[in-house]
Amino acid sequence: MKKYNIGIDLGGTKILCVLTDEKTNKIDFEVKKKTKKIKGNKNVIQKIYEAIDELLKISNVNKSQINSIGVAAAGQIDRNSGVLLYSCNLECVNLNIKELLECKYGIKTVVGNDVEVSAIAEMIQGAGKDYNNMVCIFVGTGVGSSVIIDRKLVLGATGTAGELGHTIVQADGRMCTCGEAGCLEAYASRTAIETRIEGMIKKGEYSIIADICDTQNISTKHLKEALDAHDRVVTKCVDDAIKYLSVGIANVINFLNPELIILGGGIIQGIDEFYVKTVRSSKEKSLLIASEKTEFKKAELGDYSGVIGASMLEKYYNAV
Ligand SMILES: [Zn+2]
């Protein structure tokens, strides 16, 4: 009988839930549910149940055919207990996802942080499959990253290793959501670019972005449109973000000398120029010998890296 895994990507705007072939990790069925208005432990777990139930129904697969459930969650995770300790977007505190899913479905469940789960997916099935040592950096609403050495995720003493987004690139710089000043995330994330553009417009500078969208809700698509139109404000803000991001990446290259840097996330995938300039500038800023053998690749699994990694999580959990 064919065996499957369930992979769930639990994000602030949607739950993506897939059924993958246990042998090939290919997605056979998928269900997507919006979570934008779903807040709090009770509502979030209910939505996960709904997604799994629907997946089982449309696929006509019996629970006994499912080997494991893996969950990639945007937030702080206790890997051992499978508890989502805190998620700002979902307004969840101490949600015991592992226990609740194991109780309801009787299927072994593992839970990981979305960035590390995506990094595992890229290592196993994406851009990193032929490499041993790599750093995955995802640039979107924040800057998330994970370090993989000898094909094992580096966790650190308290499990927070690889927080490139909160390395400080400007002493006494802009305030970051973590409470510290000058973190990379406060300069290079899409949110940082958005805040900066809004600030410049408020000071009276003209940008076409104000004509094409709400400046409090700028998407990557809008940024690209403004860049293509050579908008001065947007070009400046994006170039500054690239400058700081490449400072962060050059530090990683000099410090770790990795074989590969995988760049992913909405802004990297959506704006080719952003990727190309980041790679060029990161190499320019790092030591020649350190960067000599460091290759750059775009993440290959896109929006599916979370679910694919989640579906493989039980199998590769010893690597986590
Ligand atoms: Zn920070």
Residues 176-221: tens digit of each pLDDT: 988 999 999 999 999 999 999 999 999 999 999 999 998 888 999 9
- Name the nearest CA neighbour of 206 among 197, 195, 214: 197
Q: Please give the Cα distance from 21 to 185 (Å, whole number).
A: 36
Q: Please give the Cα distance from 194 to 192 (Å, whole number).
A: 5
295 and 167 within one domain: yes
Q: Please give the Cα distance from 207 to 196 (Å, whole number).
A: 12
DSSP assignment of 82-127 equals TEEEEETTTTEEEEEHHHHHHHHH---EEEEEHHHHHHHHHHHHST
149 and 102 within one domain: no
For ligand 1, the distance from its centroid to the CA atom of residue 156, given in whole angstroms, is 18
157 and 85 within one domain: no
For ligand 1, the distance from its centroid to the CA atom of residue 180, given in whole angstroms, is 5
For ligand 1, the distance from its centroid to the CA atom of residue 141, given in whole angstroms, is 13
133 and 102 within one domain: no
Total domain count, the chain: 2
For ligand 1, the distance from its centroid to the CA atom of residue 80, given in whole angstroms, is 25
Domain CATH for 217: 3.30.420.40
Q: What is the mean pLDDT of residues 282-300?
A: 96
For ligand 1, the distance from its centroid to the CA atom of residue 190, given in whole angstroms, is 14
Q: What is the mean pLDDT of residues 224-247?
A: 98
For ligand 1, the distance from its centroid to the CA atom of residue 167, given in whole angstroms, is 7
In a domain, 61, yes or no: yes
Q: What is the mean pLDDT of residues 276-305?
A: 96
260 and 178 within one domain: yes
For ligand 1, the distance from its centroid to the CA atom of residue 163, given in whole angstroms, is 9
For ligand 1, the distance from its centroid to the CA atom of residue 143, given in whole angstroms, is 10
259 and 163 within one domain: yes
- Name the nearest CA neighbour of 68 among 25, 11, 12: 25
For ligand 1, the distance from its centroid to the CA atom of residue 31, given in whole angstroms, is 34
For ligand 1, the distance from its centroid to the CA atom of residue 282, given in whole angstroms, is 21
For ligand 1, the distance from its centroid to the CA atom of residue 125, given in whole angstroms, is 30
Residue predicted with more confidence, 299 or 315? 299
Cα distances (Å, whole numbers) of residue 181 to 165, 175, 185, 266: 12, 4, 10, 25
Q: What is the mean pLDDT of residues 126-154?
A: 95
85 and 25 within one domain: yes
In a domain, 210, yes or no: yes
64 and 191 within one domain: no
In a domain, 120, yes or no: no
281 and 158 within one domain: yes
In a domain, 191, yes or no: yes
For ligand 1, the distance from its centroid to the CA atom of residue 186, given in whole angstroms, is 7
For ligand 1, the distance from its centroid to the CA atom of residue 35, given in whole angstroms, is 25
Q: How confident is the model at residue 320 (pLDDT cuts 50, 70, 90)?
A: very low
For ligand 1, the distance from its centroid to the CA atom of residue 187, given in whole angstroms, is 10
For ligand 1, the distance from its centroid to the CA atom of residue 204, given in whole angstroms, is 29
For ligand 1, the distance from its centroid to the CA atom of residue 177, given in whole angstroms, is 6
In a domain, 122, yes or no: no
68-84, pLDDT tens digit by residue?
999 999 888 998 899 99
Q: What is residue 275's predicted lDDT score, i.e. its pLDDT? A: 97
For ligand 1, the distance from its centroid to the CA atom of residue 169, given in whole angstroms, is 10
Domain that residue 313 falls in: 4-114+304-319
Cα distances (Å, whole numbers) of residue 144 to 13, 22, 215, 265: 17, 28, 24, 9
